[in-house]
Amino acid sequence: MSTTTEHANALGLETGLSPSSTIGEPRTYQVRTYGCQMNVHDSERLSGLLEDAGYVAFDKAGAGADAQADVVVFNTCAVRENADNKLYGNLSHLAPVKAANPDLQIAVGGCMAQKDRDTILERAPYVDVVFGTHNIGSLPALLDRARSQAEAQVEILESLSVFPSTLPTKRESAYAAWVSISVGCNNTCTFCIVPALRGKEKDRRPGEILAEIEALVADGVTEITLLGQNVNAYGVEFGDRQAFSRLLRACGSIEGLERVRFTSPHPAEFTDDVIEAMAETPNVMPSLHMPLQSGSDRILREMRRSYRQSKYLGIIERVRAAIPDAAITTDIIVGFPGETEEDFRATLDVVRAARFSAAFTFQYSKRPGTPAAVLDDQVPPDVVKDRYQRLVALVDEVAWEENKALVGRTLELMVAEGEGRKDAATRRLSGRAPDNRLVHFSVEGLAEADLPRPGDMVSVQVTYAAPHHLVADKRVLGVRRTRAGDAWERRTTTPVATGVGLGMPSVGVPAPLSPAPACG
C-alpha cells in the first residue's frame, strides 16, 4: 500500500512535510560561509529559511567526532582564486561521506554557483543542489525536489525577484545586526566579478529599512551595520542622490539604537553630505571603511576606479577634519597587471598619508570573466609576493603607531562575544570601541554577578597597544547593563525560535569583518 508521500514523490511534487532523517527526527543542517559580509548575511537568511522549513541546526560540539549534518550548504565566494580551490577541496572531503550515506544532501550557492553553474556538477557530481545569488529563497524547495526526484537540481536566476530582506533570517547574536539597504553594483571595476554575479543595484525603500531597524531594536539590538555593495550609491534607483545621508540621519532618531555603522562605500561617490551626517548624528560611529585598491592614478585608471589619489586623500582629509577620532580602514590590491615599482610606491605613499587603522591587503588574483584577466603584463608571482610583504609591514607599522596614540585614553566598549581567542586564559573579555577597534580588557576585581554580558557597555582605560588590537588591564571603570545584554541573557537561557519572516528577526549580529575584499 503506497502512502500519500510516495504518490507525491512519484509525480515529482513537493509535499510540504517537514524534512526528517527518521520518523520524528528533523533533518539537521550546516551552512559554511566563504567571502564577504554580504555572504555572511545571506547565510543568516539561508539558516532562517531552513529552520522555517523544519530543519534544525547541526550541533557540531554535541555530536560525535564522525557525525555529519544531514544537509551541508556551501555559501560561496568567487572573488579570489583560492575560494575556488577551498570549495572544491571541501567538497572532495564530503565525497566519501556522501558515498557511505546517500541521504546526505550537499548544496552549493552564492557567487561561485552563479558563475560556475553546471561546472560544479561536472567537478563534483555528488552535489544535490546548485542555486545562485538571486534565488536563495528557493533552497528548501530545491532540497525537497532533489530528494523526491533523486537527481540534482540546478536553478540559477539572472535577476533578483524578491529582495532578500523579506526572507526568514536566523541571526547569530542578540546585540547587533546586519541590515541590507541594497544589493548589486553598477560599477565596472576590471578586477571584480561581483557585479556580474550580484546584478545591477537594487535599493530598498527607506521606510522598509527603518521598519526593520525599529523591529530589531525592539528585540534588544543596539548596534546595526547598514550593508550594501556600494552603500553611498544608495538611492540611485529612486532618484535621490542624498538618500544615504538622509538614512543615516533617520537612524539617529531611533530611540534605543546606540551604534550605527555601514560598509562599504565607494570613493567616487562619497560626498560631503555623508561626512556631515556622520559628524552630526551621535549614534553613527566614527569608523569608515574606504576601499583604496591602489594609490597609483595609472593603475586606478586601468582598474576603472573613477577617482584618483588626490580625490581619495581629499576625502580622508575632510573626514578627519569633521570627525577627528575617526578610524579609517581600507582594501588594497597588490600586483594588478602592469603594476610597476613606481605604481606600488604610490600605494605606499597613500598608506603613510592616510594613516589607516587597518587594511585588508590582497595579492591580485586573476578571475576568468573579468577584463583584467586578459590584460597583458601580468606581474610575476615573486614580485607580487615581495610587494605584498612590504605593504603588510607598512600597514602594521602605521596601525601600531595609531594604536599607541590611544594608550591612556578612556574608551566605551560594547562587549563582544567570541572575539578574544585567549580571553579565558587571560581572564579578559573583549569589546569594540566606537571606532570599531578591538579591545581586550581585564575583569579582575569584578564579582561574577557583576561581569558584563555581550551587548553591555564598559568604560576602560587603554594600557597597551598592538598593531591589531588594544589592551586595557586596569580595573574596569564602569559597567552599563543594557537591553542588548538582557536580550543576550534571554537567548542563552531560553530556546531560540526558528526563522522569522520579513527580515525582522528576534536576534542578530554582524560577525567581525572577514578578511575578504568588499566590492567598494
Binding residue numbers for [4Fe-4S] cluster: 36, 77, 111, 185, 189, 192
DSSP 279-293: HH-TTB-SEEE---B
φ, ψ of residue 136 to 5 degrees: the values are -65, -25
DSSP-derived secondary structure letter, 169: B
Dihedral (CA of 171, 177, 181, 185) sign: negative
In 3D space, the residue among 420, 412, 359 whose CA is nearest the CA of residue 390 turns out to be: 359
20 contacts 64 by C-beta, under 8 angstroms: no
**What's the CA gap between 499 and 487, in Å, rounded?**
17
Environment class of 443 (CB within 10 Å of its CB; exposed 0-12, middle 13-18, buried 19+): buried
Burial 66-92 (b: 16+ CB within 10 A, else e): eebbbbbbbbbbbbbeebbebbbeebe
Residues annotated in a binding site: 36, 77, 111, 185, 189, 192
SS3 33: strand
Cα 225 to Cα 262: distance, rounded to the nearest angstrom: 5
Residue tagged 550537499 (cell numbers): 106
Task: Give the three-state DSSP class for 53.
Answer: coil
Q: Rounded CA gap, 32 and 151, in Å?
A: 23
DSSP character at residue 500: B
CB-CB contact of 220 with 174 (8 Å): yes
In whole angstroms, give the CA distance from residue 437 to residue 153: 44
- Residue 300, exposed/middle/buried by CB under 10 A (0-12, 13-18, 19+)? buried
**Which residue from 413, 512, 484 is spatially nearest to 222, judged by alpha carbons?**
484
